[in-house]
Amino acid sequence: MYTVSETTHVNAPLDRCFLLGTSIKLVSRTLKMHALERDENELIQPNDRLIWHGWKFGLPQMHETRVTAYDRPHYFQDSMGRGRFKRYQHEHTFTEIDGHTLLHDKIRFSLPLGWVGDMVAKTLIVPYIAGMLHRHLQLLKRVAETEEWRKYLPADPSGPAVAAGHDASGDTSAISSQQ
């Protein structure tokens, strides 16, 4: 089992950051994959099932995501239903600290094929996922801290108003593997 995590501080309100984290359009920009049978302007909801399609490493990819936990505006989790991984789970945690938001994403995964899968995970997949997580949180930070967030969130995202932000910056990341 491998774990890749990334943390960043965002100068924007908790609920805005959470909702941006559920934006299909924003996730699609990072993954460079498209959600089939869904409008990219929608937000991921509790118990959702999304099928992502695109190309990775020169191969066509299909990844079914199921939202397996949802606690707005603090946490949601998606887990692989079908795809190339043996196991894949992505936790998104949002914490308000002194008027800003701490984002923490953690992905746990394993690959099939025994030692071959382990070799591919260590040399290819862990670095790829670490880079993707970093790019995603930096994109989310940039969008949340500017007026660009309005392109990704509906005028009424079915809940409290998405307000203006306050103050903070910085990021950290961590990668680990457990055998």
pLDDT at residue 17 greater than cutoff 80? yes
The pLDDT, as a whole number, for residue 59 is 86
Q: Which of 53-62, 63-72, 122-131, 165-174 has the lowest mean pLDDT?
A: 165-174
Q: Which two tokens stand for residue 173?
A: 């990341």
Domain that holds residue 84: 18-164
Report yes or no on 128 lying in a domain.
yes
The tens digit of pLDDT for each residue in 114-169 reads 999 999 999 999 999 999 999 999 999 999 999 999 999 987 656 544 433 333 33
Report yes or no on 25 lying in a domain.
yes
The dihedral built from the CA positions of residue 30, 32, 33 and 38, taken in this order, carries a sign that is positive
The tens digit of pLDDT for each residue in 74-117 reads 999 999 999 999 999 999 999 999 989 999 999 999 999 999 99
Task: Quickly count: other Cβ atoms within 10 Å of residue 63's Cβ.
Answer: 20
The pLDDT, as a whole number, for residue 155 is 75
Report yes or no on 178 lying in a domain.
no
Report yes or no on 111 lying in a domain.
yes
Q: Is 141 exposed, middle or buried (0-12, 13-18, 19+ CB in 10 A)?
A: buried
CA 76 centroid distance within chain? 10
Strand ordering across the sheet containing 171-177: 33-36, 49-56, 59-71, 75-82, 87-97, 100-110, 2-10, 171-177
The pLDDT, as a whole number, for residue 158 is 60
- Report the number of distinct structural domains present in the chain: 1
Report yes or no on 91 lying in a domain.
yes
Report yes or no on 173 lying in a domain.
no
pLDDT at residue 33 greater than cutoff 60? yes
Supply the CATH number for residue 159's domain.
Answer: 3.30.530.20
Report yes or no on 108 lying in a domain.
yes
pLDDT band at 176 (very low <50, low <70, confident <90, very high): very low
CA–CA dist 55, 123 (Å, integer): 19
Q: Which has more pLDDT, 56 or 139? A: 139
Report yes or no on 27 lying in a domain.
yes
Q: How many residues does the chain have?
A: 179
